[in-house]
Amino acid sequence: MDNIMSKLRNLDAYPKINEDFYSRTLSGGVITIASSVVMLLLFLSELRLYLHAVTETKLVVDTSRGETLRINFDVTFPALPCSILSLDAMDISGEQHLDVKHDVIKKRIDSHGNVIETRQDGIGAPKIDKPLQRHGGRLEHNETYCGSCYGAEASDDDCCNNCEEVREAYRKKGWALSNPDMIDQCKREGFLQRIKDEEGEGCNVYGFLEVNKVAGNFHFAPGKSFQQSNIHVHDLLSFQKDSFNISHKINRLTFGDYFPGVVNPLDGVQWSQATPSGMYQYFIKVVPTVYTDVTGHTIQSNQFSVTEHFRTSEFGNLQFLPGVFFFYDLSPIKVTFAEEHISFLHFLTNVCAIVGGVFTVSGILDSFIYHGQKAIKKKMEIGKFS
């Protein structure tokens, strides 16, 4: 047994020195305090990293199919009334959403940005007791009202009972409504009068669109849109205006849900129009993004980058549609963010490295100072130090 204990004693890598042989110095005490402070600061830094999650970023090819893209928007037009502003969306697959109204809210604002209360319908409309029937006569008490579509009926049974239905029928036919006062429904509802009453007002439009996850565009422009010879056009004649001020402020624009760390470059962007009319274009590159937090909850969203361009309404002999256009395309690369905690073994390894590294470096520094002082003192004693 004594032989075994003796062999184990010989394996001791930390031989002990009698305390009588220790020599404590002032420089050693200063280095000990400094190294202890450094060791403590590094330990606290490592502990903070261990307690907080770190985010790992990866780039992968986006293989998802058949998904939709949610576009959240909040845009203010200080000089474009709500009554003439429309929202359209279309994509390269051929799908179109014209004059979108669902999930979209418009707020009338005055020149100072204050919200105007919703007024009663029909204010400013002329008094017409009996609406004009489709057959040409006036509505009698014993008749059911069926207004004329003025040649835009899809079938003989179609009725257009208000100005909006007439405009919609014209849109489906690809016709422009040049003079609303010639339409009984529009005259009765005071369509042009309502536009004149809202002159000088602005409009705040907010809501969301659900579109196919393919390249496309959505735009805010005056007038009701329709297709004419496979060309997307807007009916601007009915407003009897020569120019439209498309100055705007983008309060918020996102492609998908919020996730921590996301930056939307168009939030708060404002542009003021100097020319009479024109087309403002944003070209957006959408990057699919997946964010997974430490609990395993996954958020499917998107980031985007953007460039912008303005074209005046007159460019050579071409006339461009006044409005604000957002052209978006999708990146084939998906970014994944994953939150994760550092393992305890990794934390323990780093702590040991900190303690051992600082202890070793401080020991080397102390030894260098000690032996340097000793050599200088010896030379001074024999008179060779100068």
In order along its 386 residues, the chain shows pLDDT tens digits of 777 877 777 776 666 666 666 677 787 788 888 888 999 999 999 888 888 877 888 999 998 887 889 999 999 999 888 888 889 899 998 888 887 888 889 888 887 778 885 433 333 334 444 555 555 555 555 556 777 787 778 777 778 877 777 777 777 776 766 667 677 777 776 666 666 667 778 899 999 999 999 999 999 988 776 665 566 666 665 555 667 888 999 999 999 999 988 999 999 999 988 777 788 999 999 999 999 988 888 999 999 999 999 887 654 333 577 889 999 999 999 999 998 888 888 889 988 999 889 888 888 888 888 788 777 877 777 766 55
Residues 92 and 239 reside in one and the same domain: yes
In a domain? residue 136: yes
Residues 325 and 363 reside in one and the same domain: no
Residues 147/134, Cβ–Cβ less than 8 Å: yes
Residues 224 and 105 reside in one and the same domain: yes
- Give the pLDDT confidence score for residue 253 in this predicted structure: 95
In a domain? residue 119: no
User: Of 168, 199, 230, which one is at a domain's C-terminal end?
Assistant: 199
Report DSSP state, residue 238: G
Rounded Cα gap, residues 234 and 149, in angstroms: 19
Number of structural domains in the chain = 3
Residues 105 and 79 reside in one and the same domain: yes
SS3 164: helix
Residues 318 and 249 reside in one and the same domain: yes
Q: At what angle do helices 26-51 and 344-381 cross, to 10 degrees?
A: 170
- Give the pLDDT confidence score for residue 183 in this predicted structure: 74
The residue among 277, 94, 106, 341 whose CA lies nearest residue 206 is 106
Residues 221/324, Cβ–Cβ less than 8 Å: yes
Residues 238 and 308 reside in one and the same domain: yes
Residue 48, H or E segment:
helix 26-51
In a domain? residue 164: yes
Stated pTM of the model: 0.66
Residues 328/304, Cβ–Cβ less than 8 Å: yes
Residues 194 and 209 reside in one and the same domain: no
Structural domain containing residue 185: 130-199
Contacts 24+ apart (CB under 8 A), 167-173: 167/224, 167/235, 167/238, 168/224, 170/226, 170/235, 171/98, 171/99, 171/224, 171/225, 171/226, 171/235, 172/226, 173/226
Rounded Cα gap, residues 362 and 365, in angstroms: 5
Pull the structure tokens for residue 74.
Answer: 């909040």
Residues 310 and 295 reside in one and the same domain: yes
CB atoms closer than 10 angstroms to residue 297: 9
Rounded Cα gap, residues 282 and 345, in angstroms: 49
Compute φ and ψ for 32, nearest 5 degrees: -65, -45
User: Of 179, 199, 219, which one is at a domain's C-terminal end?
Assistant: 199
Residues in the chain: 386
In a domain? residue 295: yes
Residues 41 and 147 reside in one and the same domain: no
Q: Which residues contact 319 (CB under 8 A, 6 or more apart)?
A: 313
The residue among 382, 228, 234 whose CA lies nearest residue 319 is 234
In a domain? residue 137: yes
Residues 300 and 224 reside in one and the same domain: yes
Residues 79 and 42 reside in one and the same domain: no
- Give the pLDDT confidence score for residue 123 in this predicted structure: 33
Residues 216 and 67 reside in one and the same domain: yes
In a domain? residue 232: yes
Pull the structure tokens for residue 16.
Answer: 């002990």
Rounded Cα gap, residues 44 and 36, in angstroms: 12
In a domain? residue 241: yes
In a domain? residue 124: no
Q: What is the DSSP string of 251-316?
A: EEEEES---TT---TTTTEEE---SSSEEEEEEEEEEEEEEE-TT--EEEEEEEEEEEEEEESEET
- Give the pLDDT confidence score for residue 236 in this predicted structure: 60
